[in-house]
């Protein structure tokens, strides 16, 4: 009986992903942007997420519990984080990290175990496609109307929408756009195809309007990878052409809708991240502690504040050390091994869907080389690792 609520629960969770960044307003961290949700609404949304988490845990613990092959890698990553928390400088901040990470793991487990449950697949894809469509349309409309004025000003006229920073919207769309294209291409469900096409029509201009250089390169690599896997001839040249075009576009709009003074801020932050890693190489300074240690390693002319190292791997190195880097790479290696095994035995339609999701994940990794996008790491990576594996095995369960 508990499982009857799974379709609605998972659909709601996918639908509210664009609102996840507003949770930062509930912490002591100074928000580096504008949150559209008032504090009370963000608190209420967090309460709903807590209720969903309790329900999800109850469902996950009820027998029979099907094995989750990726769980070992995720638990190793979690274990490295716990070790860093215990040896780090701020266990309270680390506890927040662990709570968020555990929720992502639980989300991943539910998808892996119950993807084939009746009603789950249409519910989650309808919710996800509709949510991305609304988020993209809202971002475009806010830029065109310059509303709210504070967000337009802080973002220098870039599309942000319900997110806090343009790079967050870009990271969200890097996964959304390839999957929407694949669904429109292979689904036999008319409602999903129409939603996917509408999502592409709104998502592409919204993505371009983010003017996120890391995001643009991330999507270019995602599209190049997907094209390479789908074409039989000229696929290498086509992929390289896509990446080259993106590089040219980034070079031509290097300072467009950006404050030129921000172009070199990452250099000082990267140096600070390296200094943290050099001083605490084994287990790092602790999860979510980068901001508090940064002032002690900041260069004299460096950026006054930094919430992370503006690079996923460097942030992990600084906060979780060598142990954390090894754990993260092991978790992703496990995913890749299982993904390739499932891909080798599936049909073309399922492979198209799975490779589209994998392309989006790869694109966010490229974006993450020079940026750290929290909504991608905690709200997209783990659930869409599960989606990629489920698509490779079951597709849309037509």
Cis-peptide into 311, omega within 30 deg: no
Residue 280 pLDDT > 90: yes
Query: CB of 357 within 8 A of CB of 128?
Result: no
pLDDT of residue 66: 86
**At 263, is the pLDDT very low, low, confident or very high (cuts 50, 70, 90)?**
low
Query: If we measure between CA atoms, which residue out of 335, 338, 330, 387 comes closest to residue 112?
Result: 387
pLDDT digits (tens, 9 = 90+) for 223-261: 999 999 998 888 889 999 999 999 998 888 766 777 666
pLDDT of residue 268: 87
Query: CB of 20 within 8 A of CB of 46?
Result: no
Integer Cα distance of 357 and 174 in angstroms: 10
User: What one-character DSSP code corresponds to residue 31?
Assistant: P
**What separation in angstroms does the CA of 340 have from each of 113, 182, 239, 354, 367?**
19, 18, 21, 10, 23
Beta strands in the chain (DSSP E): none
Token readout for 77 is 């990553």
Angle of CA points 287, 290, 293, to nearest 5° = 120
Integer Cα distance of 28 and 243 in angstroms: 39
**At 88, is the pLDDT very low, low, confident or very high (cuts 50, 70, 90)?**
very high
CB atoms within 10 A of CB 394: 17
User: What one-character DSSP code corresponds to residue 68?
Assistant: -
pLDDT of residue 252: 81
Query: CB of 178 within 8 A of CB of 359?
Result: yes
pLDDT digits (tens, 9 = 90+) for 143-163: 999 999 988 888 889 999 999
Residue 197 pLDDT > 80: yes
Query: If we measure between CA atoms, which residue out of 29, 19, 114 comes closest to residue 288?
Result: 29
pLDDT digits (tens, 9 = 90+) for 348-391: 999 999 999 999 999 999 999 988 898 999 899 999 999 999 99
Name the average pLDDT for the chain.
92
Chain mean position to CA 81: 19
Integer Cα distance of 332 and 208 in angstroms: 29
**What separation in angstroms does the CA of 5 have from each of 56, 117, 123, 224, 298?**
10, 11, 11, 38, 49
pLDDT of residue 267: 85
Residue 28 pLDDT > 90: no
Average pLDDT over residues 108-134: 96
Q: Is the pTM of this model over 0.85?
A: yes
Q: Which residues contact 306 (CB under 8 A, 6 or more apart)?
A: 269, 272, 290, 291, 294, 298
Token readout for 53 is 């988490």
Longest alpha-carbon distance in the chain: 61
pLDDT digits (tens, 9 = 90+) for 40-65: 898 899 899 999 999 999 999 888 78
């Amino acid at each position: 009986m508990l499982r009857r609520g799974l379709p609605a629960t998972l659909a709601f969770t996918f639908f509210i992903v664009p609102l996840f960044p507003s949770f930062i307003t509930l912490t002591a961290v100074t928000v580096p942007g504008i949150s559209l949700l008032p504090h009370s609404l963000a608190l209420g949304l967090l309460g709903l997420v807590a209720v969903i988490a309790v329900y999800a845990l109850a469902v996950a613990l009820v027998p029979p519990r099907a094995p989750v092959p990726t769980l070992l890698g995720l638990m190793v990553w979690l274990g490295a984080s716990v070790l860093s928390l215990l040896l780090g400088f701020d266990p309270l901040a680390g506890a927040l990290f662990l709570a968020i990470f555990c929720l992502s793991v639980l989300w991943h487990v539910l998808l892996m175990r119950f993807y084939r449950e009746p009603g789950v697949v249409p519910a989650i894809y309808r919710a996800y496609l509709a949510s991305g469509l609304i988020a993209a349309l809202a971002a475009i409309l806010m830029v065109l109307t310059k509303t709210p004025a504070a967000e337009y000003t802080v973002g220098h006229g870039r599309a942000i929408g319900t997110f806090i920073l343009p790079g967050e919207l870009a990271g969200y769309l890097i996964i959304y756009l390839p999957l929407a294209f694949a669904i429109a291409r292979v689904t036999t469900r008319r409602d999903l195809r129409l939603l996917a096409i509408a999502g592409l029509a709104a998502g592409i201009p919204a993505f371009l309007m983010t003017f996120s250089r890391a995001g643009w390169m991330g999507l270019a690599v995602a599209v190049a990878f997907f094209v390479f896997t789908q074409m039989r001839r000229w696929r290498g040249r086509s992929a390289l052409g896509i990446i080259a075009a993106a590089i040219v576009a980034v070079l031509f709009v290097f300072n467009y809708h950006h404050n030129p003074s921000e172009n070199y801020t990452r250099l000082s932050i990267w140096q600070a991240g390296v200094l943290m890693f050099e001083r605490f190489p084994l287990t790092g300074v602790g999860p979510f502690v980068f901001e508090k240690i940064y002032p002690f390693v900041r260069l004299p002319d460096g950026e006054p504040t930094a919430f992370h190292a503006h690079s996923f791997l460097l942030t992990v190195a600084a906060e979780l050390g060598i142990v954390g880097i090894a754990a993260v790479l092991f978790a992703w290696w496990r995913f890749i091994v299982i993904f390739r095994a499932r891909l080798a035995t599936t049909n073309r339609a399922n492979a198209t869907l799975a490779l589209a999701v994998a392309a989006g994940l790869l694109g966010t990794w490229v974006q993450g080389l020079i940026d750290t996008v929290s909504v991608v790491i905690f709200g997209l990576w783990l659930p869409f690792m599960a989606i990629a594996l489920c698509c490779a095995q079951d597709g849309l369960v037509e």
